[in-house]
Amino acid sequence: MRGQVWLLFLASLVTAVSSDAASDLAARLAAKRMAMEAQLRASQEAQAAAAAREREAAEAAAAELSWARTVRDGNGTEVGEFRYPGAGGLEEHPADTALAFAVEKGLPPMLRRALASEACAALPMRCGGRNRAAVATLPVEASPGEVVGTIELFDGDEAADSALAFVRSRNLPEAARHQLHAALCAQWPASAVACSRDHAVVFARPAGWGGLPDALSVAEGQEAADAVFALVVTAHGGKLEDYRRITDHICMPWAHIEEAGGEAAALGEAARPFLKCTRRRVVVQKMPVANGDSHGGLLGEVPDSLNDCCH
């Protein structure tokens, strides 16, 4: 009898221990499951956050690569919406896309250049420092099969100026300049190539520069002194000392320009190849002088006392 009681006691004890062990195991399993579920949720949340960041980055990148605005003509009439990228896709430069749009809509040069500049201000990474459209690209041959270089014009460049600079930089004959000028003016799109004059302007400065009363342009072969005198004195009734000061600054000897640095150095470097400064004063009177059996001309400015007529 006692043995049976003892066996029943042991069985109940084992049952209690087994029940506690099972409960402990179940608790551990539940805790482990909760930990795994927490890790899974954290992983999913991290993946979702990463995907959201990628979407935001893609949207930001797309925003940097795209731009749109409503365009109006000179009268304020809406002509359409310019969008980049256009038909040429992202491979096309924004300024070139703006040019194609402006030519299609018949916009004048000032507005199309403003559109290109605005597009490049909004898309600096796409423009890469160029905010003017390429309007002409032409390989140049000195003889059949002998390419000496490629000339490229951007919106606003005068064909005459570019042709002169290219020909002289390559030491090509003068006839090549006229041929190149004609070829450039025949380039597509014709309305975007500036061919407003046959002569090249070798030096130009805006009104206000150095005290200029208006924009100054010195044509190829023209004496700088004559151009400055015509603008300052003849056209605007300025003082002789002003025209002399400006001429002296423009025609400053190259050695002094290189030593001066800054604006003077830049001016000298730009003007050196083409600017004509064989004299610093206008010719207002020629006087015959004996030179053996022949007569020459004494060129120069008459004394200030005789220049009252020119004020």
> What would the two tokens of residue 102 be?
């402006």
Contacts of 289 (CB under 8 A, 6+ apart): 295, 296, 297, 298
Residue 293 phi, psi dihedral angles, 5° rounding: -90, -5
Kindly report, residue by residue over 210-251, the tens digit of the pLDDT.
Answer: 899 999 999 988 999 999 999 999 999 999 999 999 999 998
Cis peptide before 85 (omega within 30 of 0): yes
The tokens describing 192, both together, are 């975007």
List beta partners, residue 288.
297
For the record, the structure tokens of 273 come out as 């190849």
Nearest-angstrom CA–CA distance, 132 and 69: 18
Q: Give the N- to C-terminal CA distance of the chain in Å, as an integer.
A: 148
Pair of tokens at residue 186: 């025949």
H or E, element range at 292: none
CATH topology of domain 134-192: Ubiquitin-like (UB roll) (3.10.20)
pLDDT tens-place string over residues 32-84? 888 888 888 888 888 888 887 777 665 555 555 689 999 999 899 999 999 99
**Domain spans, the chain:** 67-127, 134-192, 201-310
